[in-house]
Protein backbone atom coordinates (compact mmCIF):
# COMPACT_ATOMS: atom_id res chain seq x y z
CA UNK A 1 0.00 0.00 0.00
CA UNK A 2 1.34 3.42 -0.95
CA UNK A 3 2.00 5.58 2.09
CA UNK A 4 0.96 9.21 2.15
CA UNK A 5 3.61 11.72 3.16
CA UNK A 6 2.12 15.19 3.82
CA UNK A 7 3.95 18.03 2.11
CA UNK A 8 5.18 20.92 4.28
CA UNK A 9 3.84 24.42 3.78
CA UNK A 10 5.84 26.72 1.48
CA UNK A 11 6.95 29.80 3.39
CA UNK A 12 8.66 33.12 2.84
CA UNK A 13 10.39 34.77 5.78
CA UNK A 14 10.74 38.49 6.48
CA UNK A 15 11.74 40.61 9.43
CA UNK A 16 12.69 39.04 12.76
CA UNK A 17 10.53 40.01 15.74
CA UNK A 18 11.30 40.38 19.44
CA UNK A 19 8.45 40.72 21.91
CA UNK A 20 10.16 41.90 25.09
CA UNK A 21 7.71 42.15 28.00
CA UNK A 22 8.99 43.77 31.19
CA UNK A 23 7.75 44.53 34.68
CA UNK A 24 8.59 47.90 36.20
CA UNK A 25 9.68 48.00 39.84
CA UNK A 26 7.43 50.93 40.68
CA UNK A 27 8.64 51.25 44.28
CA UNK A 28 12.31 51.40 43.27
CA UNK A 29 11.67 53.69 40.30
CA UNK A 30 9.55 56.26 42.08
CA UNK A 31 11.76 56.31 45.17
CA UNK A 32 14.94 56.83 43.12
CA UNK A 33 16.51 60.32 43.22
CA UNK A 34 15.12 62.71 40.64
CA UNK A 35 18.55 63.06 39.02
CA UNK A 36 18.83 59.28 38.59
CA UNK A 37 15.39 58.99 37.05
CA UNK A 38 16.10 61.92 34.75
CA UNK A 39 19.37 60.34 33.57
CA UNK A 40 17.65 57.00 32.98
CA UNK A 41 14.86 58.70 31.04
CA UNK A 42 17.26 60.64 28.83
CA UNK A 43 19.15 57.44 27.99
CA UNK A 44 15.87 55.69 27.21
CA UNK A 45 14.96 58.55 24.88
CA UNK A 46 18.28 58.02 23.08
CA UNK A 47 17.38 54.36 22.61
CA UNK A 48 13.99 55.31 21.19
CA UNK A 49 15.70 57.67 18.74
CA UNK A 50 17.94 54.79 17.63
CA UNK A 51 14.86 52.69 16.97
CA UNK A 52 13.24 55.57 15.07
CA UNK A 53 16.38 55.89 12.94
CA UNK A 54 16.33 52.18 12.08
CA UNK A 55 12.70 52.48 11.04
CA UNK A 56 13.35 55.60 8.94
CA UNK A 57 16.15 53.74 7.15
CA UNK A 58 13.85 50.81 6.35
CA UNK A 59 15.76 48.47 8.64
CA UNK A 60 12.95 47.65 11.02
CA UNK A 61 10.04 48.93 13.04
CA UNK A 62 9.10 49.24 16.71
CA UNK A 63 6.48 50.08 19.28
CA UNK A 64 6.33 50.58 23.04
CA UNK A 65 3.14 49.60 24.85
CA UNK A 66 1.62 49.85 28.31
CA UNK A 67 0.33 46.34 29.07
CA UNK A 68 -2.91 45.70 30.94
CA UNK A 69 -3.04 43.24 33.91
CA UNK A 70 -0.18 42.02 36.09
CA UNK A 71 1.36 39.88 33.32
CA UNK A 72 3.63 42.81 32.44
CA UNK A 73 3.87 46.59 32.56
CA UNK A 74 5.61 47.36 29.27
CA UNK A 75 6.13 45.74 25.89
CA UNK A 76 9.13 46.71 23.81
CA UNK A 77 8.26 45.40 20.35
CA UNK A 78 11.00 45.44 17.74
CA UNK A 79 11.28 44.13 14.18
CA UNK A 80 14.68 43.96 12.48
CA UNK A 81 16.33 42.46 9.41
CA UNK A 82 18.03 39.63 11.28
CA UNK A 83 18.72 38.05 14.66
CA UNK A 84 22.00 39.91 15.17
CA UNK A 85 20.19 43.24 14.97
CA UNK A 86 17.64 42.09 17.57
CA UNK A 87 20.42 40.93 19.86
CA UNK A 88 21.87 44.44 19.70
CA UNK A 89 18.46 45.93 20.49
CA UNK A 90 18.00 43.65 23.49
CA UNK A 91 21.53 44.21 24.81
CA UNK A 92 21.24 47.99 24.43
CA UNK A 93 18.13 48.07 26.59
CA UNK A 94 19.54 45.60 29.13
CA UNK A 95 22.66 47.74 29.65
CA UNK A 96 20.71 50.96 30.15
CA UNK A 97 20.10 52.71 33.46
CA UNK A 98 16.36 52.17 33.06
CA UNK A 99 16.85 48.38 32.91
CA UNK A 100 17.90 48.46 36.57
CA UNK A 101 14.22 49.04 37.34
CA UNK A 102 12.90 46.39 34.96
CA UNK A 103 12.54 42.63 35.27
CA UNK A 104 11.64 40.09 32.57
CA UNK A 105 7.95 39.18 32.29
CA UNK A 106 7.82 37.26 29.01
CA UNK A 107 9.67 37.14 25.72
CA UNK A 108 9.02 35.69 22.29
CA UNK A 109 11.28 35.49 19.23
CA UNK A 110 9.87 34.76 15.77
CA UNK A 111 10.13 35.68 12.09
CA UNK A 112 7.40 37.26 9.96
CA UNK A 113 6.03 34.50 7.76
CA UNK A 114 3.84 34.15 4.70
CA UNK A 115 2.72 30.61 3.95
CA UNK A 116 1.19 28.80 1.01
CA UNK A 117 -0.20 25.27 1.04
CA UNK A 118 -0.36 25.01 -2.76
CA UNK A 119 3.04 26.16 -4.02
CA UNK A 120 5.92 28.63 -3.57
CA UNK A 121 5.10 32.31 -3.28
CA UNK A 122 6.71 34.85 -5.60
CA UNK A 123 8.99 37.04 -3.44
CA UNK A 124 8.98 39.68 -6.21
CA UNK A 125 5.21 40.08 -6.20
CA UNK A 126 4.34 43.70 -5.25
CA UNK A 127 2.07 42.70 -2.37
CA UNK A 128 4.64 40.38 -0.76
CA UNK A 129 7.38 42.68 0.56
CA UNK A 130 5.12 44.99 2.61
CA UNK A 131 3.67 41.93 4.32
CA UNK A 132 7.14 40.56 5.11
CA UNK A 133 8.35 43.92 6.45
CA UNK A 134 5.30 45.30 8.31
CA UNK A 135 5.35 48.68 10.02
CA UNK A 136 4.09 48.89 13.58
CA UNK A 137 1.16 51.36 13.78
CA UNK A 138 2.07 54.39 15.87
CA UNK A 139 -1.30 54.55 17.57
CA UNK A 140 -3.99 52.28 18.98
CA UNK A 141 -3.59 48.91 20.68
CA UNK A 142 -1.86 45.57 20.25
CA UNK A 143 -2.91 42.02 21.12
CA UNK A 144 -0.18 39.38 21.04
CA UNK A 145 -0.46 35.63 21.59
CA UNK A 146 1.56 32.53 20.69
CA UNK A 147 -0.09 29.44 19.24
CA UNK A 148 0.45 25.89 17.99
CA UNK A 149 -1.28 23.59 15.55
CA UNK A 150 -2.55 20.52 17.42
CA UNK A 151 -0.91 17.12 16.95
CA UNK A 152 -3.34 14.73 18.67
CA UNK A 153 -4.85 11.61 17.11
CA UNK A 154 -7.11 12.47 14.19
CA UNK A 155 -6.57 16.17 14.89
CA UNK A 156 -2.98 16.21 13.73
CA UNK A 157 -2.44 19.23 11.48
CA UNK A 158 0.87 17.95 10.21
CA UNK A 159 -0.62 14.71 8.89
CA UNK A 160 -3.24 16.44 6.73
CA UNK A 161 -2.73 16.57 2.95
CA UNK A 162 -1.67 19.99 1.64
CA UNK A 163 -4.97 20.38 -0.26
CA UNK A 164 -7.02 19.91 2.91
CA UNK A 165 -4.82 22.33 4.85
CA UNK A 166 -5.25 24.87 2.05
CA UNK A 167 -9.05 24.60 2.18
CA UNK A 168 -9.09 25.02 5.95
CA UNK A 169 -6.76 28.03 5.85
CA UNK A 170 -8.80 29.61 3.06
CA UNK A 171 -11.92 29.56 5.23
CA UNK A 172 -9.89 30.89 8.16
CA UNK A 173 -8.52 33.71 5.98
CA UNK A 174 -12.02 34.72 4.91
CA UNK A 175 -12.86 35.43 8.54
CA UNK A 176 -9.78 37.60 8.86
CA UNK A 177 -10.59 39.53 5.69
CA UNK A 178 -13.92 40.59 7.17
CA UNK A 179 -11.90 42.62 9.67
CA UNK A 180 -9.81 44.37 7.04
CA UNK A 181 -9.54 48.05 7.99
CA UNK A 182 -10.37 47.21 11.60
CA UNK A 183 -7.56 44.82 12.53
CA UNK A 184 -4.04 44.51 11.11
CA UNK A 185 -2.69 40.98 11.52
CA UNK A 186 1.00 40.01 11.53
CA UNK A 187 1.79 36.29 11.65
CA UNK A 188 5.29 35.14 12.57
CA UNK A 189 6.79 31.65 12.60
CA UNK A 190 8.75 30.38 15.60
CA UNK A 191 9.32 26.69 14.84
CA UNK A 192 12.75 25.88 16.22
CA UNK A 193 13.08 29.42 17.58
CA UNK A 194 10.77 29.51 20.60
CA UNK A 195 8.40 27.36 22.66
CA UNK A 196 5.37 27.93 20.44
CA UNK A 197 5.09 27.49 16.68
CA UNK A 198 3.68 30.88 15.75
CA UNK A 199 3.23 34.35 17.15
CA UNK A 200 0.19 36.48 16.26
CA UNK A 201 0.06 40.27 16.54
CA UNK A 202 -3.24 42.07 16.11
CA UNK A 203 -3.23 45.87 15.86
CA UNK A 204 -6.41 47.95 16.10
CA UNK A 205 -7.76 51.33 17.15
CA UNK A 206 -10.43 49.50 19.16
CA UNK A 207 -9.46 46.65 21.53
CA UNK A 208 -12.99 45.24 21.30
CA UNK A 209 -12.06 44.15 17.76
CA UNK A 210 -9.53 41.72 19.28
CA UNK A 211 -12.32 40.00 21.18
CA UNK A 212 -14.54 39.88 18.12
CA UNK A 213 -12.01 38.51 15.63
CA UNK A 214 -10.56 35.89 17.98
CA UNK A 215 -14.03 34.73 19.04
CA UNK A 216 -15.27 34.50 15.47
CA UNK A 217 -12.16 32.62 14.35
CA UNK A 218 -12.75 30.01 17.05
CA UNK A 219 -15.66 28.78 14.92
CA UNK A 220 -13.38 28.12 11.94
CA UNK A 221 -12.52 24.43 11.78
CA UNK A 222 -8.81 25.19 11.61
CA UNK A 223 -9.03 26.83 15.07
CA UNK A 224 -11.76 24.65 16.57
CA UNK A 225 -9.92 21.41 15.74
CA UNK A 226 -6.29 22.37 15.47
CA UNK A 227 -5.67 25.61 17.36
CA UNK A 228 -3.81 25.67 20.69
CA UNK A 229 -3.32 29.12 22.18
CA UNK A 230 -0.88 30.54 24.70
CA UNK A 231 -1.27 33.60 26.93
CA UNK A 232 -2.80 36.77 25.52
CA UNK A 233 -1.13 40.14 26.10
CA UNK A 234 -2.94 43.41 25.35
CA UNK A 235 -1.44 46.88 25.50
CA UNK A 236 -1.85 50.50 24.44
CA UNK A 237 0.69 52.21 22.20
CA UNK A 238 2.80 54.81 24.00
CA UNK A 239 4.23 57.82 22.25
CA UNK A 240 7.41 59.20 23.81
CA UNK A 241 5.30 61.81 25.61
CA UNK A 242 2.87 59.17 26.91
CA UNK A 243 5.75 56.96 28.05
CA UNK A 244 7.17 59.91 29.97
CA UNK A 245 3.82 60.41 31.71
CA UNK A 246 3.65 56.70 32.54
CA UNK A 247 7.06 57.02 34.19
CA UNK A 248 5.99 59.93 36.36
CA UNK A 249 5.83 63.00 34.21
CA UNK A 250 9.44 63.10 33.06
201 Ramachandran zone, left/alpha/beta (phi>0; psi -120 to 50): beta
Percent of the chain whose pLDDT exceeds 90: 76
Let me know if residue 4 belongs to a domain.
no
Domain that holds residue 218: 10-246
Helix axes 83-94, 34-56, angle to 10 degrees: 170
Say if residues 105 and 68 touch (Cβ distance below 8 Å): no
Is the entire prediction scored with pTM above 0.75?
yes
Max intra-chain CA distance, the chain: 76
| Closest to 80 in 3D by CA, of 107, 97, 106, 57 | 57
Let me know if residue 227 belongs to a domain.
yes
Percent of the chain whose pLDDT exceeds 70: 97
CA–CA gap between residue 229 and residue 166 (Å, rounded): 21
* Count of structural domains, the chain: 1
* Model pLDDT for residues 25-41, shown as the tens digit of each residue: 999 999 999 999 999 99
CA–CA gap between residue 131 and residue 142 (Å, rounded): 17
Let me know if residue 195 belongs to a domain.
yes
Catalytic residues: 145
Quick check: 2 pLDDT over 90? no
Quick check: 154 pLDDT over 90? no
Virtual CA dihedral for 24, 62, 111, 84, nearest 10 degrees? -80
What does the pLDDT read at residue 1? 38
Residue 5's pLDDT band (cuts 50, 70, 90): low
* Model pLDDT for residues 57-69, shown as the tens digit of each residue: 999 999 999 999 9
Let me know if residue 51 belongs to a domain.
yes
Let me know if residue 5 belongs to a domain.
no
- When mean pLDDT is compared across 19-23, 117-121, 173-177, the lowest value belongs to 117-121
DSSP code of 46? H
Helices (H), ranges, 2-65: 26-31, 34-56
Q: Per-residue pLDDT averaged across 119-130, rounded? A: 84
CATH of the domain at 114: 3.30.70.1030
Higher pLDDT, 108 or 123: 108
Quick check: 229 pLDDT over 50? yes
What does the pLDDT read at residue 163? 86
CA–CA gap between residue 29 and residue 242 (Å, rounded): 17
State the chain's mean pLDDT as an integer: 93
Helix axes 162-177, 208-217, angle to 10 degrees: 150
Q: Per-residue pLDDT averaged across 69-91, rounded? A: 98
What does the pLDDT read at residue 167? 87
Amino acid sequence: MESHVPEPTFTLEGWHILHDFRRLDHAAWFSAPQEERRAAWEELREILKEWEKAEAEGKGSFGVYQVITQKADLLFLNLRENLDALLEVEARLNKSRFARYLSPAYGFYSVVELGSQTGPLDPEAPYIKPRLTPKVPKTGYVCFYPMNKRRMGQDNWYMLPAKERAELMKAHGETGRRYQGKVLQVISGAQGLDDWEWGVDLFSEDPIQFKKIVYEMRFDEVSARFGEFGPFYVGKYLTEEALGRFLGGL
